[in-house]
Structure formats: structure tokens, C-alpha cells
A and B are shown apart, each in its own frame.
Chain A
Amino acid sequence: MKRMIGLFFFSLTIAAELKIGSPMPKTDHILNDISGKNMTLNDAKGELGTLVIFSCNTCPWVIRWEDRYVSIADRYIPKGIGMIAVNSNASRFQGGDSLEEMIQHANEKNYNFPYAQDPGAKLAYAFGATKTPHIYLFDKSDLLVYRGAIDDNARDASSVDEAFLANAIDQLLAGKPIKKVTSKAIGCSIKFP
């Protein structure tokens, strides 16, 4: 009986992540891009697939990994992959994740892709995104084909053993089944409103 009480007690505060094969949600949700223009996920889509990265300005894991944002954009946007970094830290839009700070951060880090605020963190809720960075890759039909981490070494791109995301994009572009469809990594919690 005591064990049953324990089991019934679970009241999880872990969001359900978007399942592999799910359609891209909230594609018409208006985002505030650092360009000063409004955009949606529909605007970010690529001809052969779309990469959505939940990110922010201040997370140390983002800072360690974001050199790879740029190299992935350099490598795959010309091949038909759309890419956007989404900032869902809505409770910090008046602070370190303000649009002004995002513009400065993107300039300093040479972002070569849209970087937009997610008002109300509605995309993060819809995706079940919990942390930064949190990666979602969709195919050309807007179905989720990969979810999780960029690779297995935040600290050092040259010491990566498994480049989860690059492998998934390569397999997607080659029309092959994606071998590893999910992965996990430590990240900063999204600061929901």
C-alpha cells in the first residue's frame, strides 16, 4: 500500500517532448526576429528540411555549443535545410534575453540564421522543449525526424565522438533512414513566463 501511495504521488513536471514523426506545431505563431521583422516557422522552412534550435543568450551550454550553430548553418543551409534559433526565455525578455541583447549576441557570435523571440514561450510549450540548446529537425514534409542534442561534447567541437545532428541531417539529405532519432544532453532550463 505504501508503495502504491508512492507511485500515485508522481506529479511530473517534465513536459512531453514532441514525438518523432509528429508534424511541426505552431507554424503560424508570430516570432520577433532580431532583423526587426516578425516571422513564423513557415518562413524558416527549408526546401529539404528545417532545423529549430531552442536557444538563448546566457546559458553556458549554449555558449559552449554555439560555434557549431554557425558551422551547421554554413554547411547545410546551402543544401536546402532551413534553420532558426528560437529564444523562449519569456520571463527574461526584459533582461538578458531582450531583443537588444539577442542582436548583440548574434553579432558577436556571427549568427548566420534567424534568431527570434518566442512570445509567451508558445513554441517551447508546443514542442515540449525544456532546455537550451534543444534541437528539433524536421524533414521536407515538416515531420519530426530527430530531437535532442547537437553532439556529445559541448566543450570541444574537435573532441566530438558522435555528431548526432550532423549525422541526422546527412542521412536526411541522402534519403536514408536516420539511425539515431533522439539524444540527450545537459542544458539550461527554459525560463517560461
Chain B
Amino acid sequence: MIKQFFLLLITIILVLFSCTKVQLIPSTSASIIEEIKKYRGKKVVLLNVWALWCVPCVEEFPMIVDLDKEIKDLEVIFISADFEDQIKEVESFLNDKGVGGKSFLKQEKDEPFIQRIHHSWTGSLPFTIVYAKDSGSIVDFWEGKEPESRFRTAINIAINS
């Protein structure tokens, strides 16, 4: 009986652990754009390109995670621009910050990636785009760290457009 209880407990722990662990997917800009399109008519998409070594990215990261958890109409797509030899550190950071499900790692040369994600983006990090729920059009985008109020304003407009 005790043995069965512990087996059940271990199984539950393993299931919970596997549910919360992030799946980091190396991706091109084309596959990211396809991912964004999946949510058209369903959710607002907030795309955030970040990197471990980018201090303002790491500073604003928990706030974005909290918005993702709070707003049911919002899907946050994080794209790490870290180098491929940092995959373990990126996964560890994402798990530590409570990012479950899918997350993305840039796997493309910088210039085509930047141009396809947004032609006005200079390549500076962090970079954020908010896409409207229904139309999928871009509501706002910006380079650098911005206050939570800007995120909320853009998301609220995007929910109704």
C-alpha cells in the first residue's frame, strides 16, 4: 500500500514537472510568423525578442510573464536571440521564470531574421510587437524596455481590434 502510494506520488510529480517544463524550439522568422498567424481571431499576440545577457530584457521579463498569466486573451511568444551554445542556460532561465509550453530560439542569420520580424527594427534588444486579436495587424511595436503601462495599453487596444 505504501509502495503504491509512493509510486503514485512520484508519477504525479513527474507529470507536473513535465507539464511546466518549457519546450525550447529553434526557429526561423518564417516559422515564427506562421506561429503568430495561428492566433489570428483567437488571441492578442505579444512577441518579445530577448536575450539572457540583455539586462533590460531580463528586467522586464517577469512583468511580461505576469501579463501572460493574467490576461486570458493574450498569447506571449518569447524569442531568445541567445547563441546556440547557451540553450541550457536559456531553458533554465525560462523554467525559473515559470514560462511553460513552447518558447523559441532564433536559428537564422541576424539580418533576414530582423527584416522579416519587422523592417523597422534596428536589431536592438529587447524588441516587442503587439498584434491585434481579430485582424492580426500590428497595434504597436518598440525597441528597448518600456513601462508596464505601455504593454497594457497596447494589449487593451489589441483585444478590441
Are A185 and B143 interface neighbours, CB within 8 A? no
In-complex Cβ contact of B143 among A6, A9, A130 (8 A): A130
- By a CB distance below 8 angstroms, the chain A residues around B125 are 131, 186-189
What is the number of residues of chain B that contact chain A, defined by CB distance less than 8 Å? 38
Are A152 and B140 interface neighbours, CB within 8 A? no
Also in contact, A13 and B146, with CB within 8 A (given A155-B83, A185-B110, A189-B54): yes
Also in contact, A152 and B111, with CB within 8 A (given A13-B143, A131-B124, A186-B123): yes
- By a CB distance below 8 angstroms, the chain A residues around B134 are 2
How many A-B pairs have beta carbons closer than 8 Å: the answer is 101
The verdict on A12 contacting chain B, using a C-beta distance below 8 Å, is yes
- By a CB distance below 8 angstroms, the chain A residues around B139 are 6, 9
Most A CB contacts (10 A, CB to CB) among B106, B115, B139, B158 go to B139
Of all chain A residues, the one with the shortest Cβ separation from B146 is: A13
Chain A: number of interface residues, binned into ranges: 20 to 34
- By a CB distance below 8 angstroms, the chain B residues around A183 are 111
Min CB–CB distance B91 → chain A (angstroms): 18
In-complex Cβ contact of A131 among B123, B140, B154 (8 A): B123
> Could you name 16 residue pairs across A and B whose Cβ atoms are closer than 8 Å?
A5-B157, A6-B132, A6-B135, A6-B161, A14-B121, A59-B53, A64-B83, A183-B111, A184-B114, A184-B121, A185-B110, A185-B123, A186-B110, A188-B53, A188-B125, A189-B145
Q: Which residues of A contact B (CB under 8 A)?
A: 2-3, 5-6, 9-15, 17, 59-60, 64, 130-131, 134, 149, 152-155, 161, 183-190
